[in-house]
Structure 1
Amino acid sequence: MLEENKWTFRRADKQFSLEKWQKTIDLMTELFSAPAGFIVHKTDDVYRIIVSSEQQENPYDAGAELSADDNIFCKKVLRDMAPLYVDHASQDSQWDDSPLVKDGFESYLGVPISWPSGEPFGTFCVMDFKQTHYQQSFLELIEQLRDMVEDDLALLDNFTQMREIAMLDSLTNIYNRRAIDLLCQHKLNISKRLGFDISCLFIDINSFKPLNDTYGHEVGDLALICLADTMKECLRETDIIGRLGGDEFIALLQVQPGDCIDSIADKLNTTYQSNLEKRGIPVTSLSIGSGVIAQPKENFAELLKRADEDMYEKKQASKAAR
């Protein structure tokens, strides 16, 4: 799902057309004979203009931000989640300290834009430097144009959900093989550019086939889900975790100063066994290929192969020691 309070529009969102929104805003200001129109997005701390009409007299470009502490019209629209029409702001004392009024704006007509969840996204508004006398039909028009923006947000939300589903393992709800190959290579490229170390953990559940054969696939599935949950519990949010297939999992870690990869692997193992016991699942252990640091010219497939080989050696050594 989209993180609604953190999302910002990027031109790279191919499922989304900035040009369409721009044409909508420009059409609105032309119909209203107004010098400025905006689509404004509210984040945690700012109101950000993501689309601005292109008239020369418009003082605010796309990308401009206003503090959430400022007394601005959009703030009232989203507080009330209702349309707002101010026809002569300089004659209304509640807007005396508004930076928009100080910039010369006299008239504001705006409506709230909502995410598909119903949470506020921002505002769709038209502004003028002179007093206006808009009829009810003007409000109805701006609401119709706003609805087009909300339709686009619904499409974006649906696209994001479908993309997440396509990248997640259906059983464990962590990344699948397709996503792992894509995201881990991307992380590796960034690490080489910025100069930080990457470590790859290749994780395999010991005696998984006997567990499946003895207790059934339902218990085996629970053991897989438990491992995914344990990885989420023990590793950082910035680490990439996923299921390669069967009982094979991977974690790609950004190595921090003072990190001990073997200690991280040991913690995964002991926490996993503890979590199995808490959930009433027969306890087994993990074989983890750890301590594998990416080499300067190594791609992800090569790094993964080395981690797999390290895991296999440790599994064989563990069997020999029994």
Structure 2
Amino acid sequence: MLVPPIPANESTRLNTLRTLSILDTPAEERFDRLTRLARRIFGVPIALVSLVDENRQWFKSCVGLDASETSRDVSFCAHAILHDDILMVPDTLMDERFQDNPLVTGEPGIRFYAGCPLTVPNGSKLGTLCLIDVKPRGLDEEDRALLHDLGRMAGEELAAVQLATLDPLTQLSNRRGFEALSQHALNVCKRMSRPASLLFFDLNDFKAINDTYGHAEGDRALVGFAEVLRDALRESDVIGRLGGDEFVALLTDSNISETAAVTRRLHEQLAAHNSAAQRGYEIRFSVGQIEYDPQDHASIAELLAAADAAMYVNKRASKAQAGQRV
């Protein structure tokens, strides 16, 4: 048996999958309809919508099989997401990748597999719509085209879920997407006893930008700040726009001094952005910083509330200091 290799974009792929908050959710008719249709059209006993997680494949929809997930290392679908086209295995006993796979030698006794990768707009292949039979067989060109169509439909349903987790203006995670991804990151930090920090940003005098320059310019300022956040923070950090002029960033495996260095870099890059933009105003922010403590913060919601409160303390202090200077 050949254990499936890890895709080159695995970090992005897993982040995308987890942002959807779809793993371990109840069955949905929009996916079940596709697997029922696939089983009937192709005359196979098993059809699945399978999502490939870090260490498992989990079935969002499953007809003809009692299991809800399997280990990733025995997963056919983990091989299929490495390809753009359908992965077809006419006879598993004739394929060295699968001939001694426990899903072949034991239940459900897979002899035929065909999986169409499910791709979302950022290019990540999150899983497959797949067909399984207990006897060898193949697909002709018409069959393959039909499986492509059904796979495209399943991919579009996943894309619809993805759009519900993205802020359309900045393309950062929205509140739902940020909370889902950050909660997973906090769980990992807790399990591995790693530090994390949450930064809660509020843009200063943002209403004045809208009032003076118009909402289109306000949107441009929001997009500009989002770009600076992306550039200043690490790829492993989780960034989101909660709404309005509020942004957040969860820095994982980051101690106090490292978080301070990130904040300094953000100030420097934002100053450079303001200087280059020359739009008649400057983007400025107040920030609240909270160190993650598993004893005090049972969830990302509690950490967000604490960082929000810290941000407002910072904002009031800055305004008072500005008033004293005047």
Bigger radius of gyration = 1
Kindly indicate whether the alpha-carbon contact (under 8 Å) linking 2:118 and 2:155 is maintained by their aligned counterparts in 1.
Answer: yes
What is residue 11 of structure 1 aligned with on the other side?
A: 24
Which residue, out of 132, 143, 147, partners 1:125? 132
What is residue 100 of structure 2 aligned with on the other side?
A: 99
What is residue 157 of structure 2 aligned with on the other side?
A: 155
Which residue, out of 268, 273, 276, partners 2:274? 276
What is residue 5 of structure 2 aligned with on the other side?
A: none
Residue type matched to 1:241 in 2? G
What is residue 234 of structure 1 aligned with on the other side?
A: 232
* Aligned-residue offset at 1:275: 1.2
What is residue 316 of structure 1 aligned with on the other side?
A: 320
Residue type matched to 1:219 in 2? E
Q: Does 1:259 align with 2:263?
A: no
Residue type matched to 1:275 in 2? H
Unaligned runs of 5+ in 2: 1-10
Kindly indicate whether the alpha-carbon contact (under 8 Å) linking 1:40 and 1:124 is maintained by their aligned counterparts in 2.
Answer: no
* Aligned-residue offset at 1:123: 3.8
Provide the rounded CA distance (Å) in 1 between the counterparts of 2:212 and 2:89. Answer: 67
Kindly indicate whether the alpha-carbon contact (under 8 Å) linking 1:292 and 1:307 is maintained by their aligned counterparts in 2.
Answer: no
Provide the rounded CA distance (Å) in 1 between the counterparts of 2:249 and 2:232. Answer: 11
Deviation string, structure 1 residues 154-212 (Cα, Å, up to 9, x no partner) = 32332332x125xx2x4333355x54895699579859965645444333335x45555
* Aligned-residue offset at 1:271: 1.0
Provide the rounded CA distance (Å) in 2 between the counterparts of 1:64 and 1:182. Answer: 26
Matches within 5 A, 1:1-322: 6=14, 10-12=23-25, 14-15=27-28, 37=46, 39=48, 50=59, 53-54=64-65, 62-65=69-72, 81=86, 85-86=90-91, 98-99=99-100, 103=105, 108-115=111-118, 121=128, 123-128=130-135, 151-161=153-163, 163-165=164-166, 168=167, 170-176=168-174, 179=176, 186=183, 190=187, 196-205=195-204, 208=206, 211-212=209-210, 215-236=213-234, 237-245=236-244, 247-254=245-252, 256-282=254-280, 284=282, 286-293=284-291, 296=296, 299=302, 300-321=304-325
Residue type matched to 2:118 in 1? W
* Aligned-residue offset at 1:124: 1.4
* Aligned-residue offset at 1:281: 2.7
Kindly indicate whether the alpha-carbon contact (under 8 Å) linking 2:165 and 2:176 is maintained by their aligned counterparts in 1.
Answer: no
Provide the rounded CA distance (Å) in 1 between the counterparts of 2:274 and 2:116. Answer: 46
Provide the rounded CA distance (Å) in 2 between the counterparts of 1:180 and 1:61. Answer: 24
Root-mean-square deviation over aligned CA pairs: 5.6
What is residue 7 of structure 2 aligned with on the other side?
A: none
Provide the rounded CA distance (Å) in 2 between the counterparts of 1:97 and 1:289. Answer: 53
| C-alpha distance 220-46 of structure 1, shift in aligned 2 (>3 A) | closer
Q: Secondary structure at the match of 2:317?
A: helix
Kindly indicate whether the alpha-carbon contact (under 8 Å) linking 1:48 and 1:65 is maintained by their aligned counterparts in 2.
Answer: yes
Aligned sequence identity (%): 14
Provide the rounded CA distance (Å) in 2 between the counterparts of 1:188 and 1:62. Answer: 22
Residue type matched to 1:239 in 2? V
| C-alpha distance 85-67 of structure 1, shift in aligned 2 (>3 A) | closer
Kindly indicate whether the alpha-carbon contact (under 8 Å) linking 1:113 and 1:123 is maintained by their aligned counterparts in 2.
Answer: yes
Q: Secondary structure at the match of 1:164?
A: coil
* Aligned-residue offset at 1:274: 0.6
Provide the rounded CA distance (Å) in 1 between the counterparts of 2:315 and 2:101. Answer: 62
Q: Secondary structure at the match of 1:115?
A: strand
Provide the rounded CA distance (Å) in 2 between the counterparts of 1:150 and 1:21. Answer: 11
TM-score normalized with structure 1 length: 0.59
TM-score normalized with structure 2 length: 0.59
Unaligned runs of 5+ in 1: none
Deviation string, structure 1 residues 53-101 (Cα, Å, up to 9, x no partner) = 559xxxx995155579x9x9x87xx687476645xx87x7x76994369
Residue type matched to 2:116 in 1? I
Provide the rounded CA distance (Å) in 1 between the counterparts of 2:266 and 2:53. Answer: 35
Q: Secondary structure at the match of 1:99?
A: coil
Kindly indicate whether the alpha-carbon contact (under 8 Å) linking 2:204 and 2:283 is maintained by their aligned counterparts in 1.
Answer: yes
| C-alpha distance 122-188 of structure 1, shift in aligned 2 (>3 A) | closer
How many residues matched? 292
